[in-house]
Amino acid sequence: MATYRAKCWLGSSAGYQELEVESNTINGAYQQFERVYGAEQIINCRQVNSGGSSSGESSGSIEGAFGIAIIVGMIWALMTFLPWILMGLGGWFGAWAGNKTGKVSLAIILSLLAGGFGYYQGDQWQQEWNSDSTVEQVQQ
């Protein structure tokens, strides 16, 4: 069971009170605030703990590891497919800029040119990253 905390209006004699209940769901917590405490208004009902700290910690670490894996995967995809990504972005930008003029032929030409430039530039960057940059000194 989880613990829920909310600010509740208990009438003019008691005013607002910060209350806690234990429930499996937030709807059950609302019902308890109303039935047990007689709350007329419930503000900012939130879960303050999940009951079992070990499950909460493992869930957080799994989510964190999943997030890191997503970021690493995105970096890998960016470095592996950079020419294609830049080609797509360049083509999209060329089409967008060409559509602003209202001429379809200009949109197609700009899309092809910008996409081609994007692929060329991405390929150059990728070759630069993958090249061996070791410099040897030769003494004579």
The domain spans of the chain are 2-51, 80-130
Higher pLDDT, 48 or 139: 48
Higher pLDDT, 50 or 6: 6
pLDDT computed for residue 134 by the predictor: 65
Task: Give the angle subtended at the CA of 84 by the CAs of 79 and 90, to the nearest 5°.
Answer: 115
Contact 42, 33 (CB under 8 A): yes
- pLDDT tens digits along 52-84: 544 445 566 788 888 999 999 999 998 889 999
Alpha-carbon distance of 91 to 73, in angstroms, equals: 24
- pLDDT tens digits along 33-43: 999 999 999 99
Alpha-carbon distance of 46 to 7, in angstroms, equals: 10
User: 7: which residues sit within 8 A by CB, 6+ positions away?
Assistant: 16, 17, 18, 19, 42, 43, 44
Average per-residue pLDDT in the chain? 87
pLDDT computed for residue 54 by the predictor: 46
pLDDT computed for residue 58 by the predictor: 55
Alpha-carbon distance of 38 to 34, in angstroms, equals: 5
